[in-house]
Chain A
Amino acid sequence: QQQVKQSPQSLIVQKGGISIINCAYENTAFDYFPWYQQFPGKGPALLIAIRPDVSEKKEGRFTISFNKSAKQFSLHIMDSQPGDSATYFCAASMVLKNNDMRFGAGTRLTVKP
């Protein structure tokens, strides 16, 4: 049973558009929410992360929005570029249960030129 549910499974966006990927979790003990980006043939790499004490975090074109009451968080990619085409994973971990990070199933993003 997936503890972190991610949608959509795949996403196609035109260059310059906004890409939005959503994640939902059940366990309220989760207190750290990272997003990882993975290019074909490579390992995932940390993109951006948020803790539940803030509702939004922005780094360049990437923004995480966090809704603690709804137990949902999302990744927004503004001005999407073909170079952003990759698979994106949301994840959640618990400070009290060290080393237990749960990943979503992933979203394959394609940005068309």
Chain B
Amino acid sequence: DAGITQSPRHKVTETGTPVTLRCHQTENHRYMYWYRQDPGHGLRLIHYSYGVKDTDKGEVSDGYSVSRSKTEDFLLTLESATSSQTSVYFCAISESGLVDTGELFFGEGSRLTVL
């Protein structure tokens, strides 16, 4: 199994509060991603990183920000959580991005409930 740790694994919070999810990898992979998984939508890309301090938006980036200050850590922040951000969040890593094999290695997910 790829060395990916997500924390926290479960979180319940209230509307309007800030939330930070952390993804830590031990594989030294260059690319890191944050996806959200919702019934009927599959997985949708929120943000991704292609190196330290290098990030870009994905399909559903509104309301989210990210930071990557070290190769091994990728943080996802909800500045002011809303109920529509209730979801399961997955971190993924890739050695060479999606150009070559396209293989993503996923963490075990963080379930976030916004009340």
Contact = CB atoms under 8 A, between A and B. Distances in A.
Interface residues of B, number: 28
Interface stretch (B13-21, B78-86, B95-103): B95-103
Nearest to A104: B42
A34 B106 contact: no
Contact of B103 (A34, A95, A98, A102): A34
B98 A101 contact: yes
Contacts of B105: 45
Interface in B1-55: 4, 31, 33, 40-45, 48, 50
B103 to A, nearest CB: 5
A17 B98 CA distance: 33
A95 B98 CA distance: 7
A8 B105 CA distance: 25
B73 interface: no
A87 to B, nearest CB: 10
Contacts of A103: 42-44
Given A89-B42, A101-B45, A103-B44, A42 B108 contact: yes
A67 to B, nearest CB: 20
B74 interface: no
B11 to A, nearest CB: 16
Contacts of A41: 108-109
Contacts of B97: 98-99
Given A43-B108, A44-B90, A46-B104, A105 B99 contact: no
Contacts of A44: 43, 90, 104, 106
A32 B102 CA distance: 7
28 contacts: A2-B41, A2-B42, A32-B98, A34-B103, A42-B108, A43-B92, A43-B107, A43-B109, A44-B43, A44-B104, A46-B104, A49-B101, A89-B42, A91-B43, A95-B99, A98-B50, A98-B97, A98-B98, A98-B99, A99-B48, A99-B56, A99-B58, A99-B98, A100-B45, A100-B98, A102-B59, A103-B44, A105-B42
Interface of B: 4, 31, 33, 40-45, 48, 50, 56, 58-59, 90, 92, 97-99, 101-109
